Amino acid sequence: METVQLTIHDAPYAAALQELLERNGTIEVRCVEAPEPGRDGVIVVDFDALHRLPLPLSKPERVVLITRNDPQHLAQAWNVGIRSVVFNEDPLSTAVLAIMAAELRVPKSDARCTDRGRGA
């Protein structure tokens, strides 16, 4: 099961996003006060929580930023390596797509691959 850490202070937005993500049953959403970068999965933060992430980001491809359309916010996100940004005025479905895309970018360890090359 995939894990998504949500650190969004807009409680109604966070609750609605959590509900959409958990709907299909393959994603575990954890609403956290501060993201844990050592934990696997995608990290979704608002602009305030971005400043609580340790820099430099070790895996910026797994971070999705939810923020307003502000050039300074976008510049700061770009400077720390974040490439997935969703504006808080965008439909929730846009945020879900960005999170799903981030999940695809996170390398997966597949135990089945370790048996390749061995005789059956």
Using one digit for the tens of pLDDT, what is the confidence trace for 43-89? 999 999 998 898 888 899 999 999 999 999 999 999 999 989 999 99
Give 35's contacts (C-beta < 8 A, 6+ positions apart): 5, 7, 43, 45, 49, 52, 53
CA dihedral 25, 36, 83, 4 (to 10 degrees): 0
* 119 is a domain residue: no
CATH code for the domain of 45: 3.40.50.2300
- At residue 116, the pLDDT reads 45
77, 34 Cβ separation under 8 angstroms: no
* 94 is a domain residue: yes
Using one digit for the tens of pLDDT, what is the confidence trace for 17-28? 999 999 978 899
The model's pTM is: 0.86
pLDDT at 117 over 90: no
Range of the domain at 68: 2-105
* 113 is a domain residue: no
* 112 is a domain residue: no
Number of independent structural domains in the chain = 1
- At residue 26, the pLDDT reads 87
